[in-house]
Structure 1
Amino acid sequence: MSALWAWIILAAVVGTSVIVVEGGRRLVAGRMSHRWPGAGRVARRCTAPAFAFAVVVSSSTAMPYQFIGGHAEDAVRHAMRIAAIGASTWLVLRIGYALSDPPLARLMRIEGERNRRARRARTQMMLLRRIAAVIIVVLAVGAALFTFPAVRAVGAGVLASAGVAGLVVGIAARPTLGNLLAGLQLAFSDALRLDDVVVTQGIWGRVEELTLSYVVLQLWDDRRMIFPVSHFTEQPFENWTRHSSRLLGSVELHVDWTVPVEDLRAELYSALKDNPLWDRREWMLQVVDVLPSGLVTVRALMSAADSASTWDLRCDVREHLVSYIRDKHPEALPRLRVGPEPVVDGAGAGVDDPAPATEDEVAEGRHADGARAVPREDGPARAKSLRRA
């Protein structure tokens, strides 16, 4: 067989493999997608690696190595083996991701009471997928390296001293291995999940990404705070959505003693009934403290479905109560009292009233504070003097 025919056969084999892959893609993305909607997405994600795999495998099978000759033949064979390993790894990873994406998408759409279990399953599935991808890539790289004779000799020596090598690698990769184990611990102990609302080191955020090495928190202002996974196994943190996303929010107001608590309580309930953020689970208004400045602390409690709704509901209630007190009961606004408070005695006179003058002070025409003393009139005598005036 001539070299021309050998290369023509190679081109025909490669073209046939490409046509077969294209026919399979059209079949899966067309007819099968009507019965299984996810089949089209799988076909689209696997198209590129499937073509690469078909071309590499068919080329490696039909390649006329005898017409290459010399050292080039060994180099081409070696390159084709490495290319086949790479294409196979790419295809396997894409198939795994394409098959696991639909369940993950369904888990993201689950709301309500089942949301906690769905987020747990999604977190574990994503970590397992990442671990599987890392293992597949490591095995592929190892298989490609072992196609070199020198590496195979080194590998045999490493296997002979596996204990020492494992100890050295373990010491060198201790932080990486620690984060890997911490990520698995977080995922399967249900201590942290995707979309959990957590507070750590005074920072509030939502878990946006959880990998084997780091955790990404999305903050309220759309910034991203990145922590190593080991931080959440070594440091305490608050998880606001561990068992349920529902939360209680509180609003505190410092008002005067004259505040009508019952009216304020009724107004709070009226405001909550008209607010769609309130989940109608809990509400309360109490006087929780009395301050030395002559004010009282009123605390309103209300429940909401999640942390974001709780924050907005607290702001709405705070604004409503402030407006209500200002417009309806301005006498209850906080006031700063300066000077001693009047102390009422048994007769109804306070310390601010001048004390009655004694007989000597009346005779001398003066009072104890230097003012002119006037005899105090009580009863009918005082009334008679007022009528004369």
Structure 2
Amino acid sequence: MTLHDIFIAIGGSLDFLPNWLISLILFALAVALGVLVHRIAFAIVTRIVARMDLFWRSLVSRTHGPTRFAVIIVALGFAASVSPLTSGQAEFLKLVLLIAFIALLGWIAKTALHIWTTVYLRRFKLDADDNLLARKHVTQTRILRRVAELIILLLTIAAVLMSFDGVRQYGVSLLASAGAAGIVAGLALQPVLKNVFAGIQLAVTQPIRIDDALLVEGEWGNVEEITSTYVVLRLWDWRRLILPLSYFIEKPFQNWTREESALIGTVMIYLDYRAPVATIREKVAEIARATPLWDGRVLAVQVTDFRQNTMELRILASARTSPRVFDLRCEVREKLVDFLQREHPESLPVIRAEADTAREPAATRALASAG
């Protein structure tokens, strides 16, 4: 005896009940049986892939919801074929199953897109020192995935609406008025559409990427997230700066990691004219060689300006990432000041009038005060 015969037998044994109640019972039995079969099959498949690669385990876990929904749709369709439904009830159930099938296709497409992007991004590591290529692909993939998800949602809704005869019947009139409606909708949704198109432009041109170090509105931080409408900037003190996507198309900002992660750090120090520049240059080289923060590419000590009481000394040193550059600058400042205080205190800035007065003999100062 087949499953079809079993359902017919169950329906025949319930002849004393109203047809609608018999149909509900058959539908409930079909759904329960479908969920049970899916649970058993999914448990078997999960056990099979338990020792396989992460991709297969993720694939099975991600498809749990869509496969269960698909089994329920098939079970309801099977139950509908043996239920004592009227023509009107059968047409209504057919429409419901069609809408459910369209929603299932959209769900499957969204799940497949997520699995593909996850597998694709597994090749790139954001935690690497030189992660320019990884940031490029991660940013592009995430933005385009959100755009694709929006397109899938719109196509699914459009397919659902087109399953109703009323929508198909008035399609021509809707297209005829699409010009005026499009203008009104465009004006109403201008901020949203502006950010959507800005997101597509950012994905293609990539002025910013995930984990880029930016200086925006006087704040420094890293790009933490790029959504379809806004960008989240994680500031150095863990605050979050939220900016619309259109900001990065219309306004200037600094990107410290646009082409590569390496940066040159600057340390400005103001010293007395008696400071031994050559000795300081040797000490800076010693500090740089002793620290793992320096990448060995750029190191320079130059007198860049003269002030009324001091001279300006600029120290340049490079590192592989912006956080390492910041730490390197701090280390150079601390160790250089400590060296000058111990070895060359005369190099630190002083007020000339006070210094000259301190060197005058006591007798001269006494005569000057007496006069």
With normalisation by structure 1, the TM-score equals: 0.78
- For residue 301 of structure 2, the aligned residue among 280, 285, 304 is 285
Q: Deviations over 1:52-102 (max 9, x none)?
A: 222123313432575244865544443333333223322321222022212
- 2:310: which partner in 1? 295
Which one-letter code corresponds to 2:245 in the other structure? V
- For residue 4 of structure 1, the aligned residue among 11, 16, 20 is 11
Structure-1 separation of matches of 2:281 and 2:134: 38
Map 1:1-389; keep pairs closer than 5 Å. Answer: 1=8, 4=11, 11=29, 15=33, 19=37, 23=41, 26-27=44-45, 30-31=48-49, 34=52, 36-64=53-81, 66-69=83-86, 72-109=89-126, 111=128, 113=130, 115-292=131-308, 294-338=309-353
Structure-1 separation of matches of 2:333 and 2:240: 29
CA apart distance, 1:162: 3.1
Q: Deviations over 1:295-332 (max 9, x none)?
A: 11111111011111111111111111111111111122
Structure-1 separation of matches of 2:325 and 2:112: 42
Structure-2 separation of matches of 1:22 and 1:91: 21
Q: Which protein has the larger Cα radius of gyration, Structure 1 or Structure 2?
A: 1
Structure-2 separation of matches of 1:171 and 1:221: 39
Which one-letter code corresponds to 1:80 in the other structure? L
CA apart distance, 1:194: 1.3
Question: Residue 191 of structure 1: SS of its match in structure 2?
Answer: coil
Q: Which runs of 5+ in 1 are unaligned?
A: 343-352, 354-369, 372-389
Q: How many residues are aligned here?
A: 345
Q: Which runs of 5+ in 2 are unaligned?
A: 1-7, 13-22, 358-363, 365-369
With normalisation by structure 2, the TM-score equals: 0.82
Which one-letter code corresponds to 1:182 in the other structure? A
Structure-2 separation of matches of 1:229 and 1:128: 14
Moved more, 191-200 or 237-246: 191-200
Structure-1 separation of matches of 2:82 and 2:351: 98
Structure-1 separation of matches of 2:82 and 2:214: 61
Verify the 8 A CA contact 2:11 2:83 in the aligned structure 1.
Answer: no
Question: Residue 279 of structure 1: SS of its match in structure 2?
Answer: coil
Identity of aligned residues (%): 33
State the structure with bigger RCO (CA 8 A, min sep 6), 1 or 2: 2
Higher helix share: 2
Structure-1 separation of matches of 2:348 and 2:280: 13
Structure-1 separation of matches of 2:196 and 2:42: 39
Verify the 8 A CA contact 1:194 1:208 in the aligned structure 2.
Answer: yes
Moved more, 175-184 or 231-240: 175-184
Which one-letter code corresponds to 1:176 in the other structure? V
* RMSD (CA atoms): 3.2
